[in-house]
Chain A
Amino acid sequence: MSNAGETTSEDIEEDKSGLFGSNETAKNRKRRRLITSLIVIFVGWELFGQFGIENRLFFAPLSEIAVSGYENWISGELQKHISASFQELLYGMLLATIFGIAFGILIAINQSVREHCDPIVSALYATPTVAIAPILITAFGLGIASKVAVVFLIAVFPIIINTTVGIRQTQESFIETAYSFNATRWQVIAKVLVPSSIPFVIAGIRLGVGRGIVGVVVGELFGADMGLGIFIFEAGQTFDAAPQFLGILILCFAGMALTGLLQWTEKKIAPWHHFALDEE
């Protein structure tokens, strides 16, 4: 609910750790410190790459990575790889989200389904399902379908589990309140259980995205004709460090951007949960 121009408690919190007793807001302080860290990392990276390491097979200074990025962008190679990986992640996540939420709700509200499936879901969540990637590549080929399958399989379990937990942690008294108005079972599900679980579901999707990115890269390493994973792999085959780091950096930023997007979404559609965290 922190609209632009509105001061939140966080904004007016003073910087108590500042040595010089400055009055900058907490938000500005965090931003300034993040930028400082990034500058130190980037400068350190460049200097280490230029002067600290002899062997360019393992490491590339930032400037070389930037050049590699520019060249690959101009040739149009990079966009094709990014687009392929992005589509794999997108379709895989969409399937995992839709199926994960639906199945999670079913497990939460139906005792028979829960007792049949819950232990198996938990076991599969703990299994490194990414190890099944080679089989999926064999089954679905080198194209996008096999990677979508990998992403789905790896991302769906945290979404199922979080949806189930989110629904089952709903306060008993909230359900009783609906029943006191003579609500039907379906109304309780739609108006109480599902809305109450939303913050958990979004957290599950966030976990899923993190795993999904791993799924994309690992899936592509096992076999793909396009994608950032295969881009990194091929650069590795020619002992070219710069494009490898380029691919890793793009994945890193993509992960950060998607996590940020989901946090923003949560603030928008579940503002009450955001308040809870604000107060701490």
Chain B
Amino acid sequence: MKNNKMNVLDNNVMMEIRGLSKEFSRNGERLQALLEIDLDVVEGEFLCLVGPSGCGKTTFLRIVQGLIEKSAGSIELYGKPITQPSADRGFVFQQDNLYPWRTVIANARLGLELAGMGTDQANARANEMLKLVGLEGFEQSYPRELSGGMRQRVNLARALTIDPKVLLMDEPFAALDAITREAMQTELLRIWREAGKTVMFVTHQIDEAVYLANRVVVMAPRPGRIEKIVTITKTTDRSEDAKRSQEFHQAVDEIRDIIESHDREDIMAN
């Protein structure tokens, strides 16, 4: 399991996205949210999508999950077209969306329960995932009793219990304070390695993307499109120290330059 993580880019393409477009119409006005996105997602990789607000990164992720319909193009996961949510994709929302009337374990097993699995079996699987995210001993707590970071761990465990092939994460740490966010990033990398999942992670924070990703997809707005894909070379297992390295800052600067060049164009155009 660990080996295929080290050289992910040589590995198989699991998801093929071709010519994906999305148009919204609001009050008769047409809005091109995404224009002809082409992207291959490689098995086992950690892929981050960054870009300014309005670049359609969240819309893109929701279409991949099957929560919103696309206007044109195709998405295939292992050769199968995606049309609706399914157990091969797990979604981690920005707000944890834990049900306040359910205990931690009952929240974690939600996906399995909805798929019709028996409670005992579902609990066993949910327990395993709660352990993985470091929440052993909190199974019977209610979400209200947990901190923001712990709630996001439950949110992650809930997506993992259905054993998806790919984990779609929509700015899951955006609402956390800076210190908790950094701790959660490191935790997420550990969980990613242990669970052996492919991750598509949306964020608007460049350093977060560089720290987490094998590849960073830089998106641009109006219309939402892929501007560039930056491969992050990682010499060793990522640690907090990596954030102090020169390579890290070079990658962050490269991505920032791409995003800012568009901001400048925008300002000139207006």
Contacts and interface: CB of A to CB of B under 8 A. Distances in A.
Contacts of B87: 182
Nearest to A180: B91
A195 B95 contact: no
A180 to B, nearest CB: 4
Contacts of A127: none
Nearest to A199: B101
Contacts of A182: 84-87, 114-115
Given A179-B67, A180-B85, A191-B113, A276 B97 contact: no
B14 to A, nearest CB: 19
A187 B99 CA distance: 14
Interface string B119-148: 000000000000000000000001111000
A272 B141 CA distance: 10
B100 interface: yes
A177 interface: yes
Interface in B46-79: 65, 67
A51 interface: no
Contacts of B113: 191
Nearest to B143: A272
Contact of B97 (A1, A173, A187): A173
B15 interface: no
B162 interface: yes
A198 interface: yes
A275 B142 CA distance: 10
A272 B144 contact: yes
Interface in B8-22: none
B162 A198 contact: no
Given A180-B65, A187-B114, A272 B100 contact: yes
A177 B100 contact: no
Interface residues of B, number: 24
Interface string A168-194: 000101101111111100010001100
Nearest to A194: B101
Nearest to B84: A182
Contacts of B85: 179-182
A194 to B, nearest CB: 10
A178 B110 contact: yes
Given A182-B85, A272-B142, A276-B144, A177 B93 contact: yes
Contacts of A180: 65, 67, 85, 91, 93
B114 A181 contact: yes
A195 B102 CA distance: 9
B67 A272 contact: no
Q: How large is the interface on A (under 10, 10 to 19, 20 to 34, 35 or more residues)?
A: 20 to 34
Interface string A142-182: 00000000000000000000000000000101101111111
Contact of B99 (A174, A183, A275): A174
**Residue of A171, A177, A198, A276 ringed by the most chain B CB atoms within 10 A:** A177
Contacts of A270: 101
A52 interface: no
Contacts of B162: 181
Contact of A173 (B86, B93, B100, B115): B93
Contact of B101 (A176, A179, A198): A198
A192 B114 CA distance: 11
Contacts of B99: 174, 192, 195-196
A178 B143 CA distance: 17
B111 interface: yes
Nearest to A178: B114
A44 interface: no
Contacts of B145: 275
A276 B143 CA distance: 11
Contacts of A171: 97
Interface in B96-110: 97, 99-102, 110
Nearest to B95: A173
A171 B111 CA distance: 18
Interface in A208-226: none
Nearest to B91: A180
A176 B67 contact: yes
Contacts of A181: 85, 110-111, 114-115, 162
Q: Which 3 A/B pairs are nearest by Cβ-Cβ distance?
A: A272-B100, A181-B111, A182-B85
12 contacts: A174-B99, A178-B110, A180-B67, A181-B115, A181-B162, A182-B84, A182-B87, A191-B114, A195-B101, A196-B101, A271-B142, A275-B144
Interface of A: 1, 171, 173-174, 176-183, 187, 191-192, 195-196, 198, 270-273, 275-276
Given A182-B85, A272-B100, 14 more contacts: A1-B142, A173-B97, A174-B97, A177-B110, A178-B110, A180-B65, A180-B85, A181-B162, A182-B84, A182-B87, A191-B110, A271-B142, A275-B142, A275-B144
